[in-house]
Structure 1
Amino acid sequence: MMHILRFLKPSTWQLWLKDHFDHEGVWIEFEKTKESETIKPDEALNIALCYGWIDGQIKRIDDNFYLKYFAQRRPESIWSTKNKASAERLIQKNLMMEPGLRAIQVAKENGQWERGDSVPDDYDFDSFVRMISFYEEAYKNFMHMSPSVQKTYSYHYFGAKKAETRTDRLKKIVDRLNQNLKPM
């Protein structure tokens, strides 16, 4: 069952997480306009990190709204450099809650905290671009994206160890690029 929530203020999302931090996950509705009445995605993510949660998949509703999935961070999930910096900033501001601190401790103990900073041994950006070039629309969109977005896509592909996982990731990447979407 898909739980969809809409928060107008960051404090209401924080209160919800405080009472439901062990919940399976929820979809939060966001408004695309600058005059948005809903909380901002970055606000939602920072609050989620405080409770050991993370954002993920995005689903379009229409031209004005979209959904973003939030759930408890799995122990095996990799911490991105951006999320680590946010978490450290939240700790310094004394905003990090116990579930968030536990998620960080688990990641440090199992190596996932550092893994997000490492480049895969066989990383080859040029070969990734050549693979994408076989898909005309995807390639065209990819080449118009910023270098950081291109790098994120290529890291995601090379982050998979098994050939079948890479094949699956390439299909998903090409699908997103065909729609001119950035990585999730």
Structure 2
Amino acid sequence: MELNNLLTAKNRDELREWLIDNNDKEKECWVAVKRGRPVNNGTFWYIDAVEEAMCFGWIDSTTKKMDNGITVQKLTPRRKGSLWSELNKERCRRMERTGRMTDAGREALPDMSSNGFVIDKDILKALKSDSVVWENFNKFPLLIDTR
């Protein structure tokens, strides 16, 4: 697999600078990131790369371990109509609240209203099949924040 646009970005701000200049020109990039629970130690964490990518309408896809043992993450523009996890929607809401979301990122967003999320009927049926489970489920806060 060829690594097109292997970036030397060492943190989310350096990736952001590349995305500002290239998000509408390039088809992919690769960044060296570390997975795990982020700590503030100068490491470029996977979640930071993903959040910055989403701010520009991009998403993570393939990972590859290079010969030197470093793991690189492929980032690409999101395809129109692609499915969004609720987790990624919430990440985008947070990026909006923190002022990091860009117009390019907003253009890629799906329906973010509360009407945009529907629990699968089979899951609802399973939840309702046990009155205690259903009662406890209804005590949880709303899954999404549409503010």
The TM-score bracket by the shorter chain reads: 0.5 to 0.7
Q: Is residue 2:92 matched to residue 1:87?
A: yes
Query: 2:145 maps to which residue?
Result: none
The question of whether the paired residues in 2 share the 8 Å contact of 1:6 and 1:30 is answered with: no
Q: Which runs of 5+ in 1 are unaligned?
A: 123-184
Cα distance in structure 2, aligned partners of 1:78 and 1:17 = 22
Query: 1:149 maps to which residue?
Result: none
User: What is the CA-CA distance between 1:38 and the residue it aligns to?
Assistant: 4.5
TM-score (ref. length: structure 2)? 0.66
The question of whether the paired residues in 2 share the 8 Å contact of 1:31 and 1:64 is answered with: no
AA of the residue aligned to 2:3: M
Query: 1:17 maps to which residue?
Result: 19
Q: Which has the higher contact order (CA 8 A, sep 6+)?
A: 2
Q: Is residue 2:73 matched to residue 1:68?
A: yes
TM-score (ref. length: structure 1)? 0.54
Kindly report the root-mean-square deviation, in angstroms, between the aligned alpha carbons of the 2 structures: 3.3
**Amino-acid identity (%):** 24
SS in 2 for 1:39: coil
Q: Which runs of 5+ in 2 are unaligned?
A: 124-147
The question of whether the paired residues in 1 share the 8 Å contact of 2:32 and 2:44 is answered with: no
Superposed CA offset, 1:27-71 (max 9, x none): 212246979755111111111111111111111225841111101
SS in 1 for 2:89: helix
User: What is the CA-CA distance between 1:77 and the residue it aligns to?
Assistant: 1.2
Q: Is residue 2:29 matched to residue 1:26?
A: yes
Query: 1:50 maps to which residue?
Result: 55
Q: Which has the larger share of helix?
A: 1
Matched residues, number: 119
